[in-house]
Amino acid sequence: MATWDPFRDFEALRQEIDRAFEQVGLGPFPSGRVAFLPGQAARHYPLVNLHDDGQNLLVEALAPGLDPEKIEVTVLGHTLTIAGEKPGLPDVRPERVHRSERAAGRFLRTIDLPVEVDANRVTATYQRGLLLLTLPRSEAAQPRRIAIHAD
């Protein structure tokens, strides 16, 4: 005879509720399904990696299918903004669509940077669906070696 474990049932219920919230974009981790939905998760698109090489901040933004001419990148102080629009299905009547999982619409992503960057020296390239940004640290954000004088 098996013993009843109420905690096992509660855990199964919790997992089911978590899955339901994730499907509508309210879960703790964005799922692939809601990586971009205008009005819900447009502030989480494009997905980015941000790292530092000591002199520059380097950003890789996953943005396939975008026209690079229509992507807007701005930098002000410690803030990076990437904006644009994902195109939808061109000239397809709704009754002809059998599946549409790739959302379309305007997006705006604002990222707080760990240091101030020199906005005049920022470079951007778009390669195979990746927006690659190089954001040089500002002079004020560069580490300085201080000479120590002994008597």
Position 150 in a domain: no
The end-to-end CA distance of the chain, in Å, is: 85
How many separate domains does the chain show? 2
pLDDT of residue 26: 63
Are 78 and 135 in the same domain? yes
CA 111, chain centre distance (Å)? 8
pLDDT of residue 1: 61
- For residue 9, give its domain range: 1-34
Position 96 in a domain: no
Position 30 in a domain: yes
Please tell me whether the peptide bond between 6 and the residue prior to it is cis, using omega within 30 degrees of 0: no
Banded pLDDT at 77 (limits 50, 70, 90)? confident
Are 69 and 109 in the same domain? yes
Token representation of residue 24: 């509508």
Are 2 and 61 in the same domain? no
Are 13 and 60 in the same domain? no
Position 44 in a domain: yes
Position 51 in a domain: yes
| DSSP 8-state assignment for residue 11 | H
Are 56 and 86 in the same domain? yes
CATH number at residue 69: 2.60.40.790
Q: Report the range out of 15-19, 70-74, 147-151 with the highest average pLDDT.
A: 70-74
pTM of the entire predicted model: 0.66
Position 125 in a domain: yes
Amino acid at the residue 19: R
Position 148 in a domain: no
CA distance 18 to 8: 15
Q: Is the pLDDT of residue 71 over 90?
A: yes
pLDDT of residue 151: 80
Are 52 and 62 in the same domain? yes
At 90-112, the pLDDT tens digits run: 888 888 888 877 778 888 999 99
Is residue 132 within a helix (H) or strand (E), and if so which, with residue range?
Answer: strand 130-136
Are 49 and 116 in the same domain? yes
Going by C-beta distance under 8 Å and a sequence separation of 6 or more, which residues neighbour residue 111? 48, 50, 59, 79, 80, 81, 82
Position 126 in a domain: yes
Q: What is the dihedral of CA 137, 139, 144, 147, to 10 degrees?
A: 160
| DSSP 8-state assignment for residue 92 | -
